[in-house]
Amino acid sequence: MPSDAPGSVQDPIVVEPRRLATGRSVEAGLDALDTATAAPARRGAWRTLTRSVLPPVVFLALLVGVWQLVYLAGVKPSYALPGPAKVAATFWETVTDGRAAEAVWTSVSRGGVGFALSLVIGTLLGLAMWASTWLRAAIGPIVSGLQSLPSVAWVPAAIIWFQLTDAAIYTVVLLGAVPSIANGLLTGFKQVPPLFDRVGRVLGLGGLDRIRLVLLPAALPGYLGGLRQGWAFAWRSLMAAELITYSPSLGQGLGQLLNIGRELSQMSLVITSIALILLVGVAIELLVFAPLERGVLRRRGLTTDR
Amino acid sequence: MTRPAARADERAAAGAAAAVRVAGVTQRFDRVGPPVLDGVDLAVAPGEFVCLLGASGCGKSTLLNLIAGLTSPTAGSITLSADRPALMFQEPALLPWLTAAGNVELALKARGVGRAERRDEADRLLRLVNLGGQTGKRPHELSGGMRQRVALARALAQDSSVLLMDEPFAALDAITRDVLHEELVRVWSAQRLAVVFVTHNVREAVRLAQRVVLMSSRPGRIVQEWTVDMSQPRAIESPGVGALATEITAQLHQEISRHAQ
């Protein structure tokens, strides 16, 4: 070994070169060490119960308890604030006489159709805005602005254009959901690391294949966020539209049920309708969007949530 | 044991057509200041392992991107024996929604390999980098070294005679890096690829290469070359590697010191 010249790298004192034949077992050992940490066991049923189910149930029970106390204290006359028992009776009545099912089905099917239309239009709009910088510059600010415009503001215009028809309702739903979906897709595209595109080019993927195999899957998390928000906006817009456009030809959605409660001054029906609207929102979130998003994020290692 | 290479380009040119030929390449990103690369000539013979060495700002990554065809030079020409060189980045750059096998298969798909054949070939390549048991894992389930081995398998799936590597092991710990050096040399000797390997780690360069090319910074020029005559596999801490690394480091320090004024 020559002694270190000034400014040279440090040379370790080597008596004998390491034997290279050990390499494969060193590698196997490293791999085993790196992957040996077993994933923590999936939550058991008991843990799910205590961590996820119990807290909201306890909170709801507390809420009902406070409600009952306020009712008993007579803060408001009973027609304005009926007690939990009365509301429960009305809720049960609407469920047993089929009005709840009818209203939920009418609204959810409208919401579903409206959301499906928004999905197609919003996705196409998002793709067009991503592909054309001119289009993005031209309508980007308007699309972002529309996202913050409460779509109930469109109801009067929609009624004047389409009278009291489903078309008026769908117009409002679309104006609520399309901007969120288009913006979500655009955000998804913007967040794709440039390295992924370089990988596609290095591998020799053509333009269309790069979009299909690299860019679109990479943009999926942002797109899903947009879809989720798009659904929330569609559902809100739908309720606003149903509440205002009341006509026998339109059938009876949840918004209309709510309106009947108001017209009859039947507070228990009003609370029942609100509860149903909330339940549908929670159900769609829990059954559709949350599992979808969790699946995508977990597959990519973007969440520690199990 | 070692000698400065006498214009290795000429030697390569004398033999068969070079795998990579860089001729008079100059690259500027702006009009003011010195060019990033200034009149670079480099020829890499088929099956030759060359390390490009230099301090930051010497344009070695720029040169690699030019050879990869990701950018085109301001002046000069670059010719390759392969249609499309394989390229490995400093990051594994695996697509996180695909499994290890899926990432390798993407490269095969880009080459137009049929579906059934893709599966078998991806399996074979992952076994080649000793990841036969991890084909179904997603990138986030693998360690940094394992991900870089998947990236190597993906680069090999491009089936190119030229493999370009841009500091692929810089982010790894020393033990993992040792293992990957062995892995790479083993794969290289089996496949007889021309490798251009960019690094700022002198010992790594001497450990791996048949020829080490030192570049100066601002402007990026090739200043000196060394042929490494030691046989493979060689250990990074062997006296021979240490001695040559010391010599090259002294030269590198001299190059860097020129910028002190």
Give the residue with greater pLDDT, A281 vs B55: A281
- Number of domains chain A contains: 1
Q: Can you count the helices (H) and strands (E) in chain A? A: 14, 0
- Residue A227 inside a domain? The answer is yes
Would you place residue A123 in the very low, low, confident or very high pLDDT band (cuts 50, 70, 90)? very high
- Residue A41 inside a domain? The answer is no
B111 near A CB under 8 A = yes
- Of B177, B143, B190, B242, the closest CA to residue A5 belongs to B242
Residue tagged 């360690």 (tokens): B143
pLDDT for the residue A19: 46
Give CA–CA dist B195/B47, Å, rounded.
7
Average pLDDT over chain A reads 84
pLDDT for the residue B51: 93
pLDDT for the residue B59: 82
- Residue A241 inside a domain? The answer is yes
Would you place residue A117 in the very low, low, confident or very high pLDDT band (cuts 50, 70, 90)? very high
pLDDT at A12 over 70: no
Best mutation target among A13, A14, A27 (most B Cβ atoms within 10 Å) is A27
pLDDT for the residue B16: 55
Which helix (DSSP H) or strand (DSSP E) does residue B117 occupy?
Answer: helix B115-128
- Residue A175 inside a domain? The answer is yes
The contacts of residue A295 (CB under 8 Å, 6+ apart) are: none
pLDDT for the residue A38: 54
Give CA–CA dist B20/B59, Å, rounded.
17
pLDDT for the residue A37: 58
A36 near B CB under 8 A = no
A204 near B CB under 8 A = yes
Q: What ipTM is given for this predicted complex? A: 0.81
* Chain B contact set for A19 (CB, 8 A): 235
Average pLDDT over chain B reads 84
Which helix (DSSP H) or strand (DSSP E) does residue A279 occupy?
Answer: helix A267-284
pLDDT for the residue A280: 93
Give CA–CA dist B88/B83, Å, rounded.
16
Distance from chain centroid for Cα B142: 23
Give the residue with greater pLDDT, A3 vs B221: B221
| DSSP-based three-state secondary structure for B53 | strand
A177: containing domain = 100-298
Q: What is the CATH number of the domain that holds A170?
A: 1.10.3720.10
Residues β-bridged to residue B215: B222
Q: Taking the CA atoms of A208, A214, A219 and A220 in sequence, report the sign of the dihedral they define.
A: positive
In chain A, % of residues over pLDDT 90: 35
Q: Which of A102-116, A290-304, B89-103 has the lowest mean pLDDT?
A: A290-304
Angle subtended at Cα A175 by Cα A173 and Cα A179, rounded to the nearest 5 degrees: 120
- pLDDT, tens digit, 9 for 90 and up, residues B200-246: 889 899 899 899 999 888 788 888 888 888 887 788 888 888 888 88
Q: State the angle between helix axes of B115-128 and B144-157 in degrees (0 to 180), rounded to the nearest 10.
A: 130
Domain positions in chain B: 2-85+161-260, 91-159
The contacts of residue A212 (CB under 8 Å, 6+ apart) are: none
| Contact flag A195-B93 (C-beta cutoff 8 Å) | yes
Angle subtended at Cα A152 by Cα A148 and Cα A153, rounded to the nearest 5 degrees: 75
What does the H/E/C string look like for A103-172? HHHHHHHHHHHHHHHHHHHHHHHHHHHHHCHHHHHHHHHHHHHHHHCCHHHHHHHHHHHHCCCHHHHHHH
Of A14, A20, A301, the CB nearest to B233: A20
Confirm or reject CATH 3.40.50.1820 for domain B2-85+161-260, answering yes or no: no
Size of the A and B interface in Cβ pairs below 8 Å: 127
Average pLDDT over residues B115-140: 88
Specify whether the CB–CB gap between B191 and B227 falls below 8 A: no
Best mutation target among B66, B91, B106, B156 (most A Cβ atoms within 10 Å) is B106
Would you place residue A218 in the very low, low, confident or very high pLDDT band (cuts 50, 70, 90)? very high
- Residue A191 inside a domain? The answer is yes
- The pair of three-digit structure tokens given for residue A232, joined into one six-digit string: 């929330």
pLDDT for the residue A35: 72
- Residue A86 inside a domain? The answer is no
- Residue A259 inside a domain? The answer is yes
Give CA–CA dist B137/B135, Å, rounded.
6
- Residue A240 inside a domain? The answer is yes
